[in-house]
């Protein structure tokens, strides 16, 4: 499995926060902050858009670091990803991601 597959199966290498961070792209940070603020009805600023990936050491967005229930659960259980969790098939939390992004399930099974 690729290192940049998040616990939920999303590919961090396609995430705008990750791309803005590794390319130090301020315009992408600003665009992403605006979009995420609108989608989440939350005050998200460009300086919040810094992430080096869900499963690797380094900086993460506030959401990914502290608020993502999937990441917190995986860390608590000590699983590599939800794909190695015995409860994945019945888990409602990761199920929401999988139902919206079928590629995430493919990554978890990959």
Q: What is the tens place of the pLDDT at every residue in 88-106? A: 999 999 999 999 999 999 9
Q: Say yes or no to pLDDT of 2 above 80.
A: no
Q: How far apart are CA 108 and CA 110, in angstroms?
A: 6
pLDDT at 1: 55
Residues 46-73 have pLDDT tens digits of 999 999 999 999 999 988 998 899 999 9
Share of the chain above pLDDT 70, in %: 99
Q: What's the pTM value of the predicted model, to 2 decimals?
A: 0.87
């Amino acid at each position: 499995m690729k290192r940049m597959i998040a616990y939920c199966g999303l590919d961090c290498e396609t995430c705008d926060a990750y791309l803005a961070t590794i390319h130090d792209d301020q315009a992408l940070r600003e665009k992403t902050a605006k979009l995420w603020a609108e989608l989440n009805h939350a005050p998200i600023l460009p300086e919040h858009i810094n992430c080096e990936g869900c499963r690797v050491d380094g900086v993460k967005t506030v959401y990914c670091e502290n608020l993502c229930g999937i990441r917190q659960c995986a860390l608590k259980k000590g699983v590599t990803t939800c794909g190695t969790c015995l409860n994945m098939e019945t888990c409602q939390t990761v199920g929401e991601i999988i139902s919206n992004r079928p590629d995430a399930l493919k990554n978890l099974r990959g």
